[in-house]
Amino acid sequence: MRIYISADIEGTTGILSWQETLKGNDEYNRCREQMTREVAAACQGAIDAGADYIIVKDAHEDGKNLIHSMLPKEVKIISGWSNHPNNMVEGLDESFDGVIFVGYHSGGSSNGCPLAHTLSINSIRNITLNNKKADEFLIYAYAAHRLGVPVIAVSGDGELIRKVRSFDKTIKTVAVQEGFGGAVVSIHPDVAVSRIQKAAKRAVESIANFSTSILEEYELKVEFKLHQDAYKYSFYPGAEQIGEYTIRYVSKNYIDILTMLMFI
């Protein structure tokens, strides 16, 4: 059984400041280690349930955060960025049986996490897909579904997990913290590791119960922080500016949506 894992850091237990997510300080090293522990837990849970091939995409910043030596020996890592439109799930293809997201977080203009954002922290205020607020989970869950691969487990902040459950209640979830304003209430890091391992194991054991869906059409709206960016990206082929800060793009093929997002 082949399992794909995409790992971010902002939805890792106890993380609440940008300093903790950036290289060059002791706080980052502590958070990097906890990110790796949670990914290792997901890997081990999948292995315990019978997975014999696991690949992990390091999907934070430069894609070089996970400590490979802390992961089970069976696990391969995709580091860095190839610049494929699949982005945070690059390397995923139809051969995989399931996808697990670890350390994911609430989307832009959300109060669910002090580090809430969707894709570009500096330029994008908010993204919607078919009039639903789109976080990175939703964007890349659809990317997996496009390939016929279901999302089977997700860990992250509480608001994100509630969005995941509304998307598909069969997905196994672990909420590691709740955000409010600039603060978070976190469970113990060891408890998070234990719960993630158990959730991944249950997800792989019940993998036959998961399904995928492809929509007839995808309407993407991107609200920028600067009106200049909305004007600039309105010239992307097929896009239109529908407000001072917002552009709209529609396609029946989801890879078109992913490709556009890669260029902004």
Residues whose CB falls within 8 Å of the CB of residue 210, separated by 6 or more in sequence, listed in order: 98, 150, 151, 152, 168, 170, 171, 203
Positive or negative, the CA dihedral 221, 223, 226, 227 is: positive
Q: What is the pLDDT of residue 154?
A: 98
Q: Which domain holds residue 236?
A: 218-263
Number of domains in the chain: 2
Q: Does 97 lie in the same domain as 226?
A: no
In angstroms, rounded to a whole number, what is the distance separating the alpha carbons of residues 2 and 5?
10
Q: Does 193 lie in the same domain as 229?
A: no
Whether the pLDDT of residue 240 is over 90: the answer is yes
Is residue 164 in some structural domain?
yes
Average pLDDT rounded to a whole number, residues 151-165: 98
Element (H, E) at 128: strand 124-129
Question: Which amino acid belongs to residue 175?
Answer: A
Q: What is the CA radius of gyration of the chain?
A: 18
Q: Strand, helix or coil at 133?
A: strand
Over residues 203-227, the pLDDT tens digits come to: 999 999 999 999 999 999 999 999 9
Residues of the chain above pLDDT 70, percent: 100
Whether the pLDDT of residue 49 is over 90: the answer is yes
CA distances from 197 to 26, 29, 155, 160 (A): 27, 22, 10, 19
In angstroms, rounded to a whole number, what is the distance separating the alpha carbons of residues 175 and 160?
8
> Do 162 and 171 touch, CB atoms closer than 8 A?
no
Q: What is the pLDDT of residue 34?
A: 98
Average pLDDT rounded to a whole number, residues 188-193: 98
Q: What is the pLDDT of residue 82?
A: 97
- Split at pLDDT 50, 70, 90, the class of 198 is very high
> Do 113 and 11 touch, CB atoms closer than 8 A?
yes
Question: Which amino acid belongs to residue 29?
Answer: N
- Split at pLDDT 50, 70, 90, the class of 25 is confident
Q: Does 222 lie in the same domain as 202?
A: no
Whether the pLDDT of residue 141 is over 90: the answer is yes
Over residues 72-122, the pLDDT tens digits come to: 999 999 999 999 999 999 999 999 999 999 999 999 989 999 999 999 999
> Do 112 and 55 touch, CB atoms closer than 8 A?
no
pTM score over 0.95: yes
Q: What is the pLDDT of residue 26?
A: 85
Q: Does 62 lie in the same domain as 171?
A: yes
In angstroms, rounded to a whole number, what is the distance separating the alpha carbons of residues 102 and 203?
13
Q: Does 236 lie in the same domain as 204?
A: no
Which tokens hold the place of 164? Answer: 């995941």
Whether the pLDDT of residue 5 is over 90: the answer is yes
Q: What is the pLDDT of residue 24?
A: 86
Is residue 125 in some structural domain?
no
Is residue 129 in some structural domain?
no
Q: What is the pLDDT of residue 209?
A: 96
Q: Which CATH number do you get for residue 184? A: 3.40.50.10780
Is residue 201 in some structural domain?
yes
Which residue from 262, 11, 260, 257 is spatially nearest to 141, judged by alpha carbons? 257
Q: Does 233 lie in the same domain as 185?
A: no
